[in-house]
Structures are given as structure tokens and as C-alpha cells.
């Protein structure tokens, strides 16, 4: 999102202490994902700057099951969602979000549509175009820093046996709660009656 950057800049972007990131960067360096991009002088201090080895990284799962690969994909999506959530929270707290005036700085959309594989590839190409546009502006430090995140992924609808099983479980839970509530009400009435009789 902000590379090339220092550990301090990365810590600020992730809302984490810088000390906690050094070992992660070291692991990413050993894995060949991150490289040292030289030193930067800021005032009297010098700091190490890191960069990604490429702008578009894709994981290759060697000898991994489909389940393991899908978990890794989902973990990646969840990480991106957390970054967007933190970014939105921080911008909101700073009073920096405006979505309905000439000063608009926010856009958010969610859409569902039936796509063929070719149409999905067209959507992906448009998203990669946005990525390339954002990448071309990373080196300069003018304007505002923006975060753009986008996903296109298949929707799994819960139908058939799975949905029926979930409905049955929900119904059983409601029945159990109603039974428990009925017992509690009867116990309260019984206690009141005992008091009244006394």
C-alpha cells in the first residue's frame, strides 16, 4: 500500500508498534517477498527503507490441499478488510470522511451480478487498471494518501441440505429457549403462589 517505506511508516499504517514488526519484515526478507531499498535520512536519523520485490504478488501453494489454499486466500481477504476498517475508523475519528459534497473523499459500493468467466476476467482487468493507476502515483508525495480496496469473488448461496440443516438447528434452538423460558415462568408463578398461600 505504501512501499517503499520504513518500519515506522509501516507501523503507522498498520496501527501497530514498530518494535513488533521487525521480525515480520525479517521473515518476509528471508522468504524473498521484501527487499532492502536503501537508507533514508530524516533529520539527524537514518532509517532502513523496505520495498516489495514486485507490485503484484501471487502465492504458489506447493503441495497444499485445496482447503489449505482456500484458508490462505480467505485470511488474505480478512487482512485487507481489517486494514480498510482501521483506515476508515481513523479517518472518521479525524473528521476526514466526506461522501456527499463537492469535497467528497469516499466511495464505497457493493454489487452482485451473474458473470460468465469472460465477464469476470473483464471486471478483473478493470480492477487491475485501478491498481496500476494507484501504483503509478506511489512515488510522489503530493495530494492525500488514499487506500483503495476491491474484491470480486464468488457468492456461495446456502441452499438445499445445508440450509435445511441450519433452519432445523435454529428452530431447535428457539424451541429450547421457549421451553427454558416456560419453565422459568412456571417457577416464578409457583414461587409467587407459595408466598401468597403463606
Q: How confident is the model at residue 186 (pLDDT cuts 50, 70, 90)?
A: confident
Task: Supply the pLDDT for residue 183.
Answer: 76
CATH number of 1-54: 1.10.10.10
Report which of residues 60 and 10 the model is more confident about: 10
Is residue 26 pLDDT above 90, yes or no? yes
Among residues 116, 108, 124, 113, the alpha carbon closest in space to that of 58 is found at 124
Please determine, for residue 162, whether its predicted confidence score (pLDDT) is greater than 70: no
pLDDT of residue 124: 94
Residue, of 188 and 128, whose pLDDT is higher: 128
pLDDT digits (tens, 9 = 90+) for 42-64: 778 888 999 988 877 777 777 77
Cα distance between residue 172 and residue 163, in whole Å: 14
Closest-CA residue to 8 (of 54, 32, 58, 43): 43
The DSSP secondary structure of 127-191, one letter per residue, reads HHHHHHHHHTTSS---S----------------HHHHHHHHHHHHHHHHHHHHHHHHHHHHHHHH
Q: Domain coordinates of the chain in residue numbers?
A: 1-54, 161-198
Name the range with the highest mean pLDDT among 34-48, 153-167, 183-197.
34-48
Pairing of strands 34-42, 5-6: unpaired
The per-residue pLDDT for range 62-95, each reduced to its tens digit, is 777 888 889 888 998 998 899 899 889 999 999 9
Amino acid at each position: 500500500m505504501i512501499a517503499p517505506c520504513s518500519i515506522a511508516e509501516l507501523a503507522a499504517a498498520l496501527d501497530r508498534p514498530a518494535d513488533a514488526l521487525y521480525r515480520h519484515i525479517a521473515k518476509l526478507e528471508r522468504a524473498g517477498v521484501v527487499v532492502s531499498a536503501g537508507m533514508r535520512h530524516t533529520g539527524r536519523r537514518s532509517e532502513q527503507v523496505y520495498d516489495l520485490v514486485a507490485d503484484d504478488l501471487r502465492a504458489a501453494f506447493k503441495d497444499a490441499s485445496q482447503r489449505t489454499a482456500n484458508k490462505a486466500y480467505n485470511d488474505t481477504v480478512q487482512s485487507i478488510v481489517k486494514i480498510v476498517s482501521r483506515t476508515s475508523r481513523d479517518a472518521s475519528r479525524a473528521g476526514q470522511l466526506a461522501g456527499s459534497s463537492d469535497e467528497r473523499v469516499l466511495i464505497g459500493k457493493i454489487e452482485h451480478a451473474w458473470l460468465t468467466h469472460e465477464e469476470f476476467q473483464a471486471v478483473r482487468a478493470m480492477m487491475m487498471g485501478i491498481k496500476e493507476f494507484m501504483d503509478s502515483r506511489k512515488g510522489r508525495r503530493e495530494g492525500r494518501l488514499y487506500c483503495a480496496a476491491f474484491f470480486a469473488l464468488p457468492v456461495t448461496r446456502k441452499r438445499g441440505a445445508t440450509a435445511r440443516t441450519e433452519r432445523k438447528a435454529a428452530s431447535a434452538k428457539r424451541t429450547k429457549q421457549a421451553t427454558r423460558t416456560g419453565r422459568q415462568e412456571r417457577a416464578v408463578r409457583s414461587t409467587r403462589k407459595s408466598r401468597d398461600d403463606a
